[in-house]
Structure 1
């Protein structure tokens, strides 16, 4: 199969999966449904064009045209083509936080976050491994500065919300108690590490993403349980 055929197949598959995965989970009013459809169309158009033509060749006007809306309409939803192409990542972080909020109150913070990620990965409607376009788009985060900046905005907002959720669960002030931020920093970092490993070769080798995430989380637990070496402090006699 030629590269052009591979790209076309990826885009067609992505269209079907994006339509299925972005359906609203609960009834919404007509205006809200229309807004969701417009946002989905713009995000899908941005992803398709970036995969087909490359990030530098894509303009906001081209994205709007493919989605059959005006340039002005595009600006009501997204600040740029990068934000539109990464909208699936924003939606997935919101799903993880919704799952975290719904976890049983008795669960400790780290297991609760890990379970929320597992809940997200277990839903076939949002499976990255079944949507090749997501790997292609996410790979650009590490190679394109503007994509990295767009993703950082998503990441920072998502982790701030995760910290608020865990602080509420613990009944603490996240500005004084380090646990919510520490857990989110570690757990979200593990998830990103697993996603990057998968994108850099795991998905092409057919590696199961949920299993890879489990493996990387297990590494965190193992390393965190190691007894740290006693730090060696210098004394005045050690000074040359």
Structure 2
């Protein structure tokens, strides 16, 4: 009696899935490692040589990959050096999606940022060694700042969509999602820039006349910055409710 052969297409999904999933996991891990190696090489070279003297070819060589491989992951050296900014933006949005539905949008964003900075399982990449120095270069390197702005805008646009969904509204016609995100993300950016101007991990000097980030923990700076926003918003609300005088 003959026997029939079963092809992969004949097998049940649960029979093929383990092997397929394992292959996909390995590919994902390799891609993550390659991207990490390129980002690390970009940061190292820029801090060693300066942005102008760093080339994409040098970054690829340091990471032991080809120029073509570099282009699969990043659009340029600035994008590679700021890969940690994109990763952290995605992480904040992930945490924002997970916030309880009943939280006011501004509170939800603040608590998502707080969770991002406190997460020990997936630590904020901003807190890795040398990242503070890269953020500090934004004031000195226009092309690096431009790349940072593109990444920041991408993350904020996603945040706006998340807040709009939480409010059950249209983010195009309703101003609330954009206003909330611009305010909340602006506070975070201000705290990050103040933190970057503080002494680096090697005890380097901070920018003249700016002591906001000196010796301060980033999480503490962020909380203080959000407190400023809350205080100013409350003050503005009280002032708005006061009757107008003839002098105004």
Map of 1:132-143 to 2, 5 A cutoff?
132-143=129-140
Is 1:201 the equivalent of 2:195? no
Q: 1:214: Cα distance to partner?
A: 0.5
Provide TM-score, normalisation by structure 2: 0.79
Q: 1:141: Cα distance to partner?
A: 1.5
Q: Aligned match of 2:128 in 128, 131, 146?
A: 131
- Secondary structure of the residue aligned to 1:55 is coil
State the alpha-carbon separation in 2 of the partners of residues 81 and 130 from structure 1.
21
Aligned to 1:216: 225
Deviates more, 1:94-103 or 1:195-204: 195-204
2:84–2:126 Cα contact (<8 Å) kept = no
State the alpha-carbon separation in 1 of the partners of residues 171 and 126 from structure 2.
34
Change (3 A) 1:144 1:129: closer
Map of 1:1-240 to 2, 5 A cutoff?
29-124=25-120, 125-127=122-124, 130-201=127-198, 205-226=214-235, 227-228=238-239
Aligned CA-pair RMSD = 2.1
Displaced runs of 4 or more, over 6 A: 229-235
State the alpha-carbon separation in 2 of the partners of residues 89 and 119 from structure 1.
16
2:85–2:125 Cα contact (<8 Å) kept = no
Q: How many residues align?
A: 209
2:159–2:181 Cα contact (<8 Å) kept = yes
State the alpha-carbon separation in 2 of the partners of residues 76 and 161 from structure 1.
23
Write the deviation string for residues 117-156 of structure 1: whole angstroms up to 9, x where unpaired: 0010102452467523111111112211110111111011
State the alpha-carbon separation in 1 of the partners of residues 246 and 150 from structure 2.
40
- Unpaired runs of 5+ residues, structure 1, are 1-26, 236-240
Change (3 A) 1:190 1:68: same
Change (3 A) 1:66 1:58: same
- Unpaired runs of 5+ residues, structure 2, are 1-21, 204-213
Deviates more, 1:39-48 or 1:29-38: 29-38
State the alpha-carbon separation in 1 of the partners of residues 246 and 65 from structure 2.
65
- Secondary structure of the residue aligned to 1:52 is helix
Higher helix content, 1 or 2? 1
**Whose radius of gyration is greater, 1 or 2?**
2
